[in-house]
Amino acid sequence: MIDLQAVPDMQKPSFKLDVEQSALEYRNSEHQSVWQIPLESIVLMAEYTTNEGPYLDDYFLVFVSADGDSLNIATASFYADGRDEIVRNLAQRWKTNIELLLFNSTEWASRVVWPPTLVGREYFESRVVEPKKLAEKLRRFAFGPVYEYFPSQSVREFLL
């Protein structure tokens, strides 16, 4: 696991992951619930990083849950307090090993960590958003292309 003492102050936990009455809950620094999902409804767990670090949060966990015919996506900071315990508990619950491997990434990267049939596959795919307005074209010229991110083909097929 990651030693949070080595994480810069800007990324130390201000959120908390916890289990409350068989639901995974994500709370903010004021202890208010940001989201809550029943543990038994989780159908996929992934991790992803962005290129926004080190001063902005750039590493996240994704929990996809099924509620009847609808899917819900809940995202939590990798640096949330309680993460290690939650990952251990989910690994025990799912009788598998969960490895979070993107902690050294400084660019966009993603991977599924559960279920076993998808482990290691990309969670996100991206495509360039073509600029249409003059301001968008100027932004692209100055800073490069803008990308749109969405679940990968293998993830979409699994979730259908």
Domain at 11, CATH number: 2.30.29
In a domain, 160, yes or no: no
What's the CA gap between 123 and 23, in Å, rounded?
Answer: 23
Q: pLDDT of 93-145, one tens digit each?
A: 999 999 999 988 888 899 999 999 999 999 998 787 888 888 888 887 887 77
In a domain, 159, yes or no: no
What's the CA gap between 32 and 22, in Å, rounded?
Answer: 18
DSSP label of 6 = G
In a domain, 147, yes or no: no
- Amino acid identity at 104: N
Number of domains composing the chain: 1
Q: pLDDT of 23-38, one tens digit each?
A: 999 999 888 999 999 9
Q: Are 127 and 151 in contact (CB under 8 A)?
A: no
| % of the chain surpassing 90 pLDDT | 57
Q: Number of helices (H) and strands (E) in the chain: give both, helices first.
A: 3, 9
Closest CA to 122 of 89, 152, 88: 152
In a domain, 98, yes or no: yes
For residue 76, the enclosing domain spans 4-122
In a domain, 105, yes or no: yes
Q: Are 61 and 75 in contact (CB under 8 A)?
A: yes
